Amino acid sequence: MDSKILKKTLLIVTGFLFQSNVNAQMYVSPNSYVFASNEVVFIKQDLELNAASSNFYLRKDAQLLQGSTTAGTNKGIGDLSVFQEGTTNNFQFNYWCSPVGGNIAAAGNSPFGITQLKDIVDLTNSNNPTILAMNNYNGTASPFAIAPYWINKLTASADYSNWNQVGSASTINAGEGFTMKGTSGTNLITVNGVQNNPTSQQRYDFRGKPNDGTISIPVAIEQFTLTGNPYPSAIDLSAFLTDATNCTGIAYFWEQDKTVSSHYITDYKGGYGAFSPGSLGSNGIYVPATFYSYDGSGNEGTSTGTGGSYEKRFCPIGQGFLIDGTANGTVEMKNSYRVFVKEGASNYSQFNKNANQSKTENTSDYLSAIQSVSGFDYTKVSIAPTPQIRFNTLLNNEGVRQMALAFIPEATDGVDRAMDAMSSSDGSPADIYFVLEDTEYVINAVNFDMDKKIPIGFKNANQANYKITVKEILNFTTANTVYLHDKVTNLYHDIKNDFHELTLPAGVNNTQFEITFKTNSTLGVEDTTSQSFVVYQNNSTKNLTINNPLLMDLATCGLYDVAGKLIFSKKDLGVNSSYKFSTSGLGDGIYIVKLSTKDNIEGGKKIIIKN
C-alpha cells in the first residue's frame, strides 16, 4: 500500500500477512504514529519514519516483516519501538543483536548504540538511559542505568577474531551482536501486565530506525563471529544456518550460572550451548552448555554444572549468537528468513527461560501455519523431536557434558554442515565428545544402522573421572540396547540402563571407546547382577524396592541422578529377600540404581520417580 497515516491517529493493526504482486510502502508523517498490538505488519518495500515525531510501536508480540530482496532501504529519523527482556542481573551477560539502528535520514541500515535502549515509562513513552562511567560496573533497574564497560562485540577478520569493547559508542553495525550485562534491583513500572524488572529480568525499549533487507556479516575461517537476529521480527534460524555456507551451520548460545554474583572472571561459570538445524522438516537439536569456571586469563577451568534446554528453531527479536566461519568471506541475513512467531517454548522460539512468554498450544503432529516472507509451508514441519539419543557425562563429579547422537537419513558418517555441531570447549581441562574427522563434536548426525560404531573421545589435562549414561532416547525405538565399548578390554558396558564410570590418565584418547547398539561378546558380570535383582520404583508408596530372589549378599546400593551424581548410598545390606528405601524427598525424574554384591558383581537399573 502507498498511504499516509493521518496525524494523531492511533492505528491498531489487526491484519494478516499478505503476499501479492502489489508493491507496498508505508510512510509515517510528522506527529503521527502506527500502533500494532499482538499482530504482524507486513510491508512489501520500504518504511519511512519521516520526522523525529514519526513513531511505530510494536506491542504485545507485534512484529514487523518486510519483503524487499535488496539491501535495506528504510529511511527517516523517526523511531520504531519494540520491547524485549534481558534475562540476567548486573553480574551476567546477555548476548544481543539490535533490531534497530541509529536515527539517520538516509536510506539503509545504520549503526546502533546502547543509548538507544530506553527506560520504559508507559505504553508509548520511554526515557533515555543513564550511561554510567566506564569504571562503574553495576547497572541498575531503578533509576535505570547501563554499565557500558560490558558492551563488547566479536567480529571476524581473515587473520584474527577478538572481543572489541564498544562502550557507549554507536558503532554496532546491523547484524553485529553485542554483549551487555543486566541491571540490579527492581523497577516497579508495569506495562501490558509485565513489570519492567521484577529482579534479574530487565525489559528494554529498543528505539531507532528498523533494520531491513539483506545484511552481510563478515566471517573468517575457524573464527567465531557474534551475530544474531537483526530484525524487529522473529527469524527462521534453521533457514539462515542452512543457507549460510561460509559457516558451519551451527549457532552457539551463551549460558551463564545466574547464582554467581561477581564480576571477576575467575568466578564465572558458563559455556555455550549448540543448536543444529538438522533438517528444515524438523525443529532442530539443541545441546545445553557445560558450565566451566575460568582463570584470570579467560581460559576454561573446572567444569561446574550444566545449562538449560531451549527451543531455538525461531530466533526471537534481539537474540544474539555465535557462528563459526569455514571460509574468509560473508554470510547473509535476509528478509526471506523473517517469520511471525511469538516468543515462547511452545512456539520453538526462546530467548531464554523468561517468565513472561506468550505460548500457544499445538495439538497436531506438525507446526501450525506460520506467516512468513518466504512462503515456506511450515505445516510440513514435524514437531516430533529429531530421533536421537542423548548422553550425559559427569566430569570429575562436577560439570555435565551432554551430547546428542541424531538419526537423520540424509546424514553421512563424516561431517555434515548444519547437522554436526563442533564442541566450543577447546580449552576445557576435561571433556568427552564424538570424534569426527579427528575433531571434537557434541552433536553427531548419522543414518542409523544396527552395526554402526560411533567413536567417542576423551581429553583431560590431568587424571580425570567420567561417568557416562544415556540420559534419554527421543522418538527412536529401533535400538533396544546402547553400549560403551572399550576396544582395549573388549568389554561392553550397558549405558542405557546404567552408567559406566572410568578414570583416565592425562592425555587425549580418541581411539579406545565407541558407542555400539549390540555386542560381539558376552557382557560378563554386569549382566549377571541385572538378572539377579528385581528393581522397581513404587511411586504410590514413594519407595524404591529391590527384590533379591537368589539371596545374594548385597554390599552396596547407590542411587544416582541421570548425570551420575550420588543421591544416597547404603552399605552392608546383607542377604535379604527384599529391600525398601524411601524416595519421598526426591524430585521427579530419571534415576539410576547401582548395586554391588560381596562378590564384586556390579549392575544398574534406571527408574522413574514421580512424587
- Model confidence pLDDT, tens digit, residues 51-94: 999 999 999 999 999 999 999 999 999 999 999 999 889 999 99
Backbone φ, ψ for residue 374 (5° rounding):
-75, -25
Query: Does residue 354 surpass a pLDDT of 70?
Result: no
Q: What's the pLDDT at 602?
A: 81
pLDDT tens digits, residue range 317-337?
A: 999 999 999 999 999 999 999
Task: Give the contacts of 372 (CB within 8 A, at least 6 positions apart).
Answer: 17, 65, 236, 338, 339, 340, 378
> Could you tell me the pLDDT band of residue 557, with boundaries at 50, 70 and 90?
very high
Of the spans 6-20, 351-365, 422-436, 451-465, which averages the highest pLDDT? 451-465
What are 495-526's pLDDT values in tens digits?
Answer: 998 999 999 999 999 999 999 999 876 444 45
- The candidate with the shortest Cα–Cα distance to 465, out of 560, 565, 556, is 565
Kind of pairing between the strands at 79-85 and 203-210: antiparallel
Is it the case that residue 558 has pLDDT exceeding 60? yes
Beta-carbon contacts of residue 562 (< 8 Å; ≥ 6 apart)? 392, 469, 471, 472, 589, 590, 591, 592, 606
Whether 145 contacts 115, CB under 8 Å: no
- CA-only gyration radius of the chain, Å: 26
34-58 pLDDT tens trace: 999 999 999 999 999 999 999 999 9
Beta strand extents in 157-299 (DSSP E only): 161-165, 178-181, 183-184, 187-191, 194-197, 203-210, 215-219, 224-228, 234-236, 251-256, 269-276, 285-287, 290-294
- What does the pLDDT average to over 419-442? 91
Encode pLDDT of 242-272 as tens digits: 999 999 999 999 988 888 888 887 777 788 9
The chain-wide mean pLDDT, for the chain, equals: 88
Q: How far apart are CA 194 and CA 188, in angstroms?
A: 9
Task: Write the pLDDT tens digit of every residue in 195-217.
Answer: 999 988 999 999 999 999 999 99
| Residue pair 237/330 in contact by the 8 Å Cβ criterion | no
Domain 534-609 classified CATH 2.60.40.1220? Answer: yes
183 has a pLDDT exceeding 80: yes
Distance, C-alpha 540 to centroid of its chain: 36
Distances (CA, A) of 14 to 38, 62, 329, 395: 8, 10, 41, 52
Contact 283, 315 (CB under 8 A): no
**What's the mean pLDDT in 378-388?**
95
What pLDDT is attached to residue 247?
Answer: 97
String of DSSP letters for 285-343: EEEPPEEEEE-TTS-EEEEEEE------SEEPTTBEEEEEBSSSEEEEE-GGGEE---S
What is the pLDDT, as a whole number, of residue 334? 98
- Overall average pLDDT of the 103-114 stretch: 96
Identify the bridge partners of residue 434 per DSSP, sorted by sequence position: 441, 456
> What sign results for the dihedral spanned by CA atoms 110, 112, 113, 116?
positive
Percentage of the chain lying above the pLDDT 90 cut? 74
- Extract the C-alpha cell encoding 357: 512468554
Residue-level pLDDT at 26: 92
Q: Give the number of other CB atoms < 10 A from CB of residue 134.
A: 12
My answer on whether omega of the bond before 230 falls inside 30° of 0, hence cis, is no
d(CA 262, CA 158): 35
Identify the H or E element spanning 367. Answer: none
Tell me, what's the pLDDT at 293? 60
Place of cell 532501504: 73
Q: Which of 252, 226, 220 is nearest to 423 (CA)?
A: 252
pLDDT of residue 300: 54
